[in-house]
Amino acid sequence: MNNQLIQLLNSIVPLSDGLLEFLNAKLENRTYEPGELLLKEGQVSSFIAFIEKGMVRSYYYKDGEKITSWFMKEGDVIISVASFFSQTPSNEVIEALEKVSVHAISYEDLQYAYMHFPEFNVCGRVLTEKYYVMSEERLYMLRKRTSKEKYHYLLDKHPDITQRARLGDIATFIGVNLETLSRIRSEKI
């Protein structure tokens, strides 16, 4: 079993032997090549995954253009929230930007773990709170800041994204075209 994932969960609450056995049996190791889709638009998100290695992005289509909505990397949990929890078709796409290794658990197995292992509910709540806060911060950043401030926010808070993601993906994430992003990047801080 993945030490990173177990360390993360154990840092939230000690895991019982029963839960560790269950996770060992149910977590599926998956790998994706750059450009491979973990989730397609219109597909129901059937799993939640912990990224061991690599980076992914989520995007949606607006007027035929791919608009990046988030990036996730090692140590993050990835999910199409609305699709996964409501088990309805996704409006977003999740794409591997690099070779990605994940540990995935199905919707059904996650629900079973919540029902049979009380400590897993604590892990789920704490992780949900963490990602909800991150989502709020991202929304605030995208709505309240100028394009230049958005880019510098990425540089300050997530410098690895600016080094690992494609410039076009970063441009759509902060809401500018490539030319404007190039201008912003060439300006002195």
Q: Once rounded to an integer, what is the mean pLDDT over residues 139-153? A: 81
Q: What is the pLDDT of residue 153?
A: 87
pLDDT grade, residue 1 (50/70/90)?
low
Per the listing, tokens 């929890």 go with 85
Rounded to two decimals, the pTM is 0.88
Q: What is the pLDDT of residue 171?
A: 95
- Residue range 44-82, pLDDT digits in tens: 999 999 999 999 999 999 999 999 999 999 989 999 989
The sheet that has 65-73: what strands, in order across it?
A: 37-39, 93-96, 55-62, 65-73
Tell me the domains of the chain and their CATH numbers.
Answer: 3-136 (2.60.120.10), 145-184 (no CATH)
Q: What is the pLDDT of residue 26?
A: 95
- Residue range 82-108, pLDDT digits in tens: 999 999 999 999 999 999 999 999 999
Residue 72 CA to chain centroid, in angstroms? 4
Percent of the chain whose pLDDT exceeds 70: 98
The contacts of residue 2 (CB under 8 Å, 6+ apart) are 27, 50, 52, 103
Q: Which residues in 138-172 are b (16+ Cβ under 10 Å) and which e?
A: eeebeeeeebbebbbbbeeeeeebbeebeeebbbb
Distance CA 43, CA 39 (A): 7
Per the listing, tokens 């090692």 go with 74
Q: What is the pLDDT of residue 28?
A: 94
Q: How many CB atoms lie within 10 A of CB 88?
A: 12
Question: In this model, does residue 189 exceed pLDDT 70?
Answer: no
Between 110 and 8, whose confidence is greater? 110
Q: Which residues in 99-137 are b (16+ Cβ under 10 Å) and which e?
A: ebbbbbbebebbeebeeebebbeebbeebeeebeeeeee
Length of the chain in terms of residues written: 189
Distance CA 142, CA 151 (A): 10
pLDDT grade, residue 38 (50/70/90)?
very high
